[in-house]
Amino acid sequence: MQKYLFTFLLFICSFHSTFGQSFDTGGGGERSDKKFQFMPIPYINYDRTLGLSVGALPMAMYNLSEKDTISPSSVSGLLGMYTTNESWFVLGFSKFYFNEDKYRVTVAAGTGNFNFQTFVGLPINGFVKYNTGVNFAKGEIQRKIVNHLYLGVNYMYTDFKNQFDIGTDTTFVTELQTLGFIVSYDQRDNVYYPTKGQIADINIDFNPNFLGNEQTNTKVTLAFNKFFAFKEGRDVLAARAYIGFGIGDLTFNQQFIVGDTDIRGYTQAKYRGNAMYNLQAEYRWNFHKKMALNFFGGLATVSGANESSQNGILLPGAGIGYRYTVFPKNHMNVGLDAAVGRDDWGIYFRIGEAF
């Protein structure tokens, strides 16, 4: 989750995976002092599989109610991308905050076609290319129960058509209808750019028979992010712990893949399995009122891997990122990250922070 087949798939399985925690539940934050702000943002990215990616991200930030001074500003956007290996996708998204931040609603939908690869052991012992066409739509609502605690439910529809390039007809279609439940305990001081506090998320996604799923399973993710303020809140140290696992056999497109948020520096999708674990930290140095440099590093590993030899291998990743603040009132950033991993590397376009 980058880039970009598995980032896109991670995104649609967990909306904050691509755009980071910036659109997740938060502990408040500054509202825009304008009723409506629009920002056309160019998109550029590069990885070792998809090559150069170019596109555009027109995005708007706005307040749903002038009388509601508690809710953070809402955000909506469109993202379109095309790569030099002829992959593409288009998606739209919105995150709404209203009723004095008691309710938070996320909607997203998109379609894409990706030329990617996966690692296969003996007798091939290398990467196999494949194409995936995907469509998805997701809706989510969260309600504040008590101070800092949100409970939510979501529904997501996805369909995948995979075609593997191994000399025979290996086309298969997977359709998933997912019902998810969310528990989020959030003590961050800002939705879009936290400088202190923490957030703990539990996401449980079910694919039951009664929704028409041919293969039933459950996917569970647990994440804890902690933020420490330095230099009177100007700089931030962020730390993250993450666990994700499947109950029952996950489909190929549901598997966890090391990369993007967990952990940057892996773009070839070599390490994937039914569970993933990671620890990482990032220092955000705001050397200018609208610019910052981020220094990050961490470790990840997988279990239940397609290739058993990958189970338990420690996968380090480290890098540096540049940020530019596009919405100063909310301190919402865009930027680029460059990261290296174990025999891999990548450059990542970023909207908000990685976590």
Of the two residues 224 and 121, the one the predictor is more confident about is 224
Residues 343-351 have a mean pLDDT of 86
Query: Where are the alpha helices (H) located in the chain, listed in sequence order?
Result: 5-13, 16-19
Residues 6+ apart with CB under 8 A from 292: 284, 285, 286, 322, 323, 325, 333, 335
How do the domains of the chain map onto residue ranges?
5-351
Comparing 18-22, 134-138, 232-236, 243-247, the range with the smallest average pLDDT is: 18-22
What's the CATH code, domain 5-351?
A: 2.40.160.50
DSSP state, residue 259: B
Asked whether residue 90 carries a pLDDT value surpassing 80, the answer given is: yes
- Please report the pLDDT score of residue 68 as a whole number: 87
Question: What pLDDT sits at residue 10?
Answer: 39
8 Å CB contact between 244 and 224: no
Residue 43's beta-bridge partner residues?
55
CB 296 within 8 A of CB 318: yes
Judge contact between 30 and 54, C-beta under 8 A: no
What gap in Å lies between CA 186 and CA 63, rounded to an integer? 21
> What percentage of residues in the chain have a pLDDT greater than 70?
88
- pLDDT, tens digit, for every residue of 270-289? 898 999 999 999 999 999 98
Query: Tens digits of per-residue pLDDT, 73-89?
Result: 898 999 999 999 899 99
Q: Is the pLDDT of residue 24 over 50?
A: no
What is the distance between the alpha carbons of residues 108 and 78, in angstroms, rounded to a whole number? Answer: 10
State residue 167's pLDDT score: 63
Query: What is the mean pLDDT of the segment spanning 128-150?
Result: 91
Can you give the pTM of this predicted structure?
A: 0.79
- The count of residues in the chain is 355
